[in-house]
Structure 1
Amino acid sequence: MNSFEVSGLLSLTIAIVVFFIGAGLNRHIPALRNWNIPEAVTGGLLAAAATLLIHRFLGISVNFHLDARDTLLLYFFTGIGLNARFSDLIAGGRPLLTLLALTLGFLVIQNLIAVASVAVLGLPEGITVLLGSASLIGGHGTTIAWAPILTERFGLTNAMEVGVAAATLGLVVASLVGGPIAGFLVKRFHLQGPQAQALSIGFPHENERDVSDDLDHFSLLRTILVLNVAILCGYVLDELLLETGLRLPLFVACLLSAIALTNIVPRLLPTLGWPTRTRSLALTSDLSLSIFLAMSLMSMQLWTLSGLGLALVIVLVIQTAAAVAYILFVVFPAMGRNYDAAVIAAGFTGISLGATPTAIANMTAVTKLHGASPTSFIILPLVSAFFIDIANAFAIGFFVN
């Protein structure tokens, strides 16, 4: 088997092309847009299918270098933080606690499904957490971090492969299911967001070519400068957290730093021209998320899923059905049965089956079509990228021990 290494710059260039292909398909296939499928998901899955065909028929494994993707993730979450005013956080206090409780509840359900599936299908005991919250709620990062420990503890020789396969399938499903769920709820309950309010990420579809207000090279460079400063502060905060023994993803530190800066600096320097809720920040966040997601999906090595057995597919089908039922009958009613609840329903698929960027991409696709939901973009990342990681670590540790 030959391997073809794609350099970082070429990987980034291909990701941009992949996004444009997805955008073109979404524009010409109304169902994709009506189902709120993000453009990057459409193009990314198509690119992943292309690399699968190259592997199958030419015997070449395509490997993308993804350093740019990790940097874009920092820009994206820092942009989310820069939009987070304390007044919004206070207003979102109760929904935040409600969503956290719902997510913790589903973490338990997800692991119980994994326990039952392992028992019924006669799978190795140590594989339980890899079919539950480690790979699905935790995603690829959590899986990669815990797989060596599970291998040592239970003697699983394929722990990494199983965990990565489950996380990959979950990511694909989350990308495809979130938008249609929200679309169904919006139509079923006749919901609509505030049309006059600016989006947290991106622009409404009908106004994509309107660049009449603050979007110029000065505002864009100012936004990038502020993002860079916030990211640098995030690196410092991450080091401080590590010294206390608290290990969290770097983007969480950047998110928290941005929240602190955006609520302090404008008060001290009101004439500075801070980028909160500006079109330049919305554009930068949308660009970062779109290319990040395109790179993540196009780099999936789908051929690694072969040979892992029917059992894995069965478990993922059960987990998906449980997640959809939980979203429709628990999450949406508990969050208020309103438009924000529908947007959060789209994002919850990313929490429960995929990853936080997938959740945000699903929510972005919905809000571009139906209107803004700023509260959703504040509380969901805090739950999925901060609180739930801590809870998941305890859950995984319980199974390991």
Structure 2
Amino acid sequence: MDHFAQIAEAGASASSTLFIGPFALLVLAIPVLLLGEFIFHRVGWLHRANVPAPIIGGLLVAITLAILAQAAPGLVTLQGSTANAVWLWPVLPQWGLGAPSMTDVERPLLILFFTCIGFNASWSVARQGGLPLVILLALSIGLSAVQAATGALTALALGETPLLGLMASNVSLMGGFGTAAGFAPEFEKAGLVGAASIGLTAAVFGVVAGGLVAGWTGGRLVQRKLHRVGEGSVSLQQLESASAEPAGFIAELKELARSARSVLLHLAALVVCMKLGAFLSVFIQSSGLTFPVYMGSMIVAAILRNAHDLLRGNVLKTERVDAIGSVALMWLLAVVMIDLQLAQLLGSALPLLVILAVQVALMAALAYFVTFRLMGRDYEAAVTSAGMIGYGLGATSNAMATMRVMIRRFGPAPRSMLIVPIVGSFLVDFFNAVLTTTALNVLK
């Protein structure tokens, strides 16, 4: 009788557990993302700081799950890994549908996003910015290196692993949410426990801090460093583009649906890059290098895009790739945030806060004293400096929002509006990923 009672008790316990599998997690991420958008549009400071909607909704769910885990252990179980060969096929270094090893279910979304970054690394577009763009890109690459060095040294000074400093500096701040999520598995393998939680927490901090610091620094540069605001001209279309609100997940999907044939063509090209990139990544990793899974696809996509431009092709459209990448990133972040293990942050909370405070002070000082001078010491330089803080601490959306405010207050800045999104959106991400890969191989 006791044996049957134990079986009955085990069955009752199992039935009371809510099990969320990998594909249920993908589906759940969409209403969580929409919840984040709802809150984003109704909470003023979140809106002004440009905190991404998936982070808002996902963080609420992650906190709720953490509380439930403490109050009722085992009540909710998340399974975020899958071995489904059909879903994972585009990112597997194999042509058949043989069963792969267990892999995070969001892996295809992650690699799709970074493949889109590679696809938009077009030299023909970048050269339109001329010398100012080259200077800003060089400054941004240098800043990424300074962030990495100071982050690692600060962590060492606090008695922590330098991997914590890297993850909380250039990876999550200059790189943003996507880079933090992308590199997290490699940092976990290198020994940083809770790398995903640390990276995404640092990215959230950076977005909020960047939104607050960038505008203050830019305004101070104009008021303290400039005797008068120079004249400039900017088209109404540029201003409207700069002030446009984030489209949102459903709006992005509707926009893609309106150009279904073109979208399918671009998706096919992206899948080809992802597939070839999977083989390239394995080839490079076989040499012993630590190499994030998406770098191969990003490199292949950059090569294909520049070959297309060199041959004067007009098939691949930057705006279409941007829209696909935006949908992939929003969906990816919602999944990653839901699956955060917040309890892993407790041991590194204070060192993480110190590292981030150092990074914010460093970013503001470099923009104020270095970027402003090297970009020309004029009004455009002030606007560009503010924009650099925006994407250097969080996201290009922060940069654009800050510059929009400055333009409305002080006057047009057409050069800044051209070069900042080009550098912040994709050029610096490419170089930052290479720098992080190199640093990770040195430190491991």
**TM-score where L is the length of structure 1:** 0.76
Structure 1 residues 216, 241: CA separation in 2 closer, same or farther (over 3 Å shift)? same
Q: Which residue identity lines up with residue 329 of structure 1 in the other structure?
A: A
For 1:290-326, what per-residue CA distance to the aligned partner results, in whole angstroms no more than 9, with x for missing partners?
A: 11111222211213334x3xxx333222111101101
Shift of 1:287: 0.6
- Whether 1:117 and 2:158 are equivalent positions in the alignment is yes
Q: Give, as a single letter, the amino acid of the residue that structure 1 aligns with 2:30.
A: I
Distance 1:325 1:81 in 2: 31
Question: Residue 75 of structure 1 corresponds to which residue in structure 2?
Answer: 112
Q: Deviations over 1:237-259 (max 9, x none)?
A: 22332344444212122111111
> Can you list the C-alpha shifts for 1:32-69, whole angstroms capped at 9, x where unaligned?
11111111111111111111121122223542415342
Contact 1:100–1:388 under 8 Å retained in 2: no
Q: For 2:53 and 2:268, locate their aligned partners in 1 and report how far apart those are by CA, in whole Å.
A: 27
Q: What letter corresponds to residue 82 of structure 1 in structure 2? A: F
> Which one of 185, 210, 213 corresponds to residue 181 of structure 1?
213
Partner of 1:50: 64
Matched with 2:166 is 133
Q: What is the rounded CA distance, in whole Å, between the counterparts of 2:279 and 2:434 in structure 1?
A: 18
1:298 aligns with 2:338: yes
Bigger Rg over Cα: 2
Moved more, 291-300 or 85-94: 85-94
> Partners in 2 of 1:238 and 1:96 — Cα distance?
26
Match of 1:84 in 2: 121
What is the identity percentage for the equivalent residue pairs of Structure 1 and Structure 2? 19
Q: 5 Å matches for 1:1-400? A: 5-60=19-74, 62-65=77-80, 67-89=104-126, 91=130, 92-118=133-159, 127-133=160-166, 137=170, 140-147=184-191, 160=193, 166-167=198-199, 169-185=201-217, 196=237, 204-205=244-245, 215-268=258-311, 270=313, 273-275=315-317, 277-278=318-319, 280-306=320-346, 308=347, 312-331=348-367, 333-335=369-371, 336=375, 337-349=381-393, 359=394, 362-364=395-397, 366-367=399-400, 370=404, 373-394=421-442, 396-397=443-444
The one-letter code sitting in structure 2 at the alignment partner of 1:364 is S
Paired residue secondary structure (2:193): helix
Secondary structure of 1:37's counterpart equals coil
Deviation, 1:145, is 1.6
Distance 1:135 1:327 in 2: 13
**1:198 to partner: Cα distance:** 11
Change beyond 3 A, Cα 1:287–1:87: same
Distance 1:105 1:75 in 2: 29
The number of aligned residues is: 357
The alpha-carbon deviation at position 185 of structure 1 amounts to 4.4
Q: Indicate conservation of the 8 Å contact 1:233/1:257, yes or no.
A: yes
- CA gap of 1:341–1:207, structure 2 versus 1, over 3 A, is same
Structure 2: gaps spanning 5 or more residues: 1-12, 82-103, 172-179, 223-228, 376-380, 405-416
| SS of aligned partner of 2:316 | coil
Q: For residue 355 of structure 1, what is the aligned residue in structure 2?
A: none
* CA displacement, residues 225-276 of structure 1 (integer Å, 9 cap, x when unaligned): 12112212212322332344444212122111111111112443735x223x
Counterpart in the other structure of 1:156: none
Task: Return the alpha-carbon distance in structure 2 between the equivalents of residues 170 and 374 of structure 1.
Answer: 24
Contact 1:179 1:363 in 2 (8 A): no
Q: Distance in 1 between the 2:206 and 2:24 partners?
A: 27
More displaced 10-residue stretch of structure 1: 323-332 or 94-103: 94-103
User: In the alignment, residue 158 of structure 2 is paired with which amino acid?
Assistant: S
Structure 1: give runs of 5+ residues left out of the alignment. 119-126, 148-158, 350-358
Q: Which moved more, 1:97-106 or 1:181-190?
A: 181-190
Q: Distance in 2 between matches of 1:366 and 1:4?
A: 41
Partners of 2:280 and 2:156 lie apart in 1 by 37
Report the secondary structure of 1:248's partner residue.
coil
Q: Normalising by the residue count of structure 2, what TM-score does the alignment of the two structures yield?
A: 0.69
> Residues 212 and 346 from structure 1, CA distance in 2 versus in 1: closer, same or farther, beyond 3 angstroms?
closer
1:325 and 1:206, CA in 2 relative to 1: closer, same or farther beyond 3 A? closer
Structure 1: how far apart are the matches of 2:238 and 2:274? 27
Cα pair 2:19 2:78 within 8 Å, conserved: yes
Could you tell me how far apart the structure 1 residues matched to 2:161 and 2:256 are? 53
- Aligned in 2, Cα 1:46/1:316: closer, same or farther, shift over 3 Å? same
